[in-house]
């Protein structure tokens, strides 16, 4: 498993190959399509991320001091965003998650190219993960 920093660098490298933002949005959708389907019984109200325009469920499980996360969304773009966060955060210790820099979000341009409501939702997802 790559380190947290390596995972972020891999994402930056992938997105740097995109020619424009339309292509980056398509990449987000494809990344989201790769997420395993979350079982319907796990899609409960207490697992919803507050502050998201779309419905996003985040399911944590702690094993051997590391947090493993499953997630799903009813929106293709949002599902891609949570998939990126899982690539960076899932399988890490709580301390790593708490201290992680989120520079990769700026590096790939998500902070500039998302609508205000999607950007707020993205940071709500980060906050939900960090709250575990």
Q: Alpha-carbon distance 78 to 50, whole Å?
A: 13
Cα separation, 11 vs 107, whole angstroms? 9
pLDDT of amino acid 118? 87
Give the integer Cα–Cα distance in Å for 117 and 115: 5
Q: In what order do the strands lie in the sheet with 56-63?
A: 56-63, 66-73, 92-93
pLDDT confidence of residue 53: 85
Q: Is 52 a catalytic residue?
A: yes
Kindly state the helix (H) or strand (E) to which residue 88 belongs, with its residue range.
Answer: helix 76-89
Instruction: Identify the domain containing residue 12 by its residue range.
Output: 4-130
- Of 52, 81, 105, 108, the catalytic one is 52
Inform me whether the pLDDT recorded for 72 exceeds 80: yes
Per-residue pLDDT reduced to its tens digit, 1-37: 899 999 999 999 999 999 898 999 999 999 999 999 8
Residues 6+ apart with CB under 8 A from 92: 4, 66, 67, 100
Q: What is the CATH number of the domain that holds 95?
A: 3.90.1010.10
DSSP SS3 for 7: helix
What per-residue confidence (pLDDT) applies to 109? Answer: 87
**Residue scoring higher pLDDT (93 or 51):** 93
pTM of the model: 0.93
71 or 117, which is more confident: 71
Residue with tokens 């995109």: 18
Number of domains in the chain: 1
pLDDT, tens digit, 9 for 90 and up, residues 78-116: 999 999 999 999 999 999 999 998 889 999 988 788 888
Beta strands in the chain (DSSP E): 56-63, 66-73, 92-93
């Amino acid at each position: 498993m790559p380190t947290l920093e390596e995972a972020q660098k891999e994402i930056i490298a992938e997105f740097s190959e995109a020619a424009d933002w339309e292509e980056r949005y398509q990449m987000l959708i494809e990344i989201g399509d790769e997420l395993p389907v979350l079982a319907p019984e796990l899609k409960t109200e207490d697992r919803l991320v507050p502050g998201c325009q779309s419905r996003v469920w985040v399911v944590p499980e702690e094993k051997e001091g590391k947090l493993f996360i499953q997630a799903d969304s009813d929106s293709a773009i949002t599902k891609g965003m949570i998939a990126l966060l899982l690539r960076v955060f899932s399988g890490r210790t709580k301390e790593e998650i708490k201290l992680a820099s989120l520079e990769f979000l700026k590096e790939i341009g998500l902070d500039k190219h998302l609508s205000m409501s999607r950007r707020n939702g993205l940071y709500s997802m980060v906050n939900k993960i960090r709250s575990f």
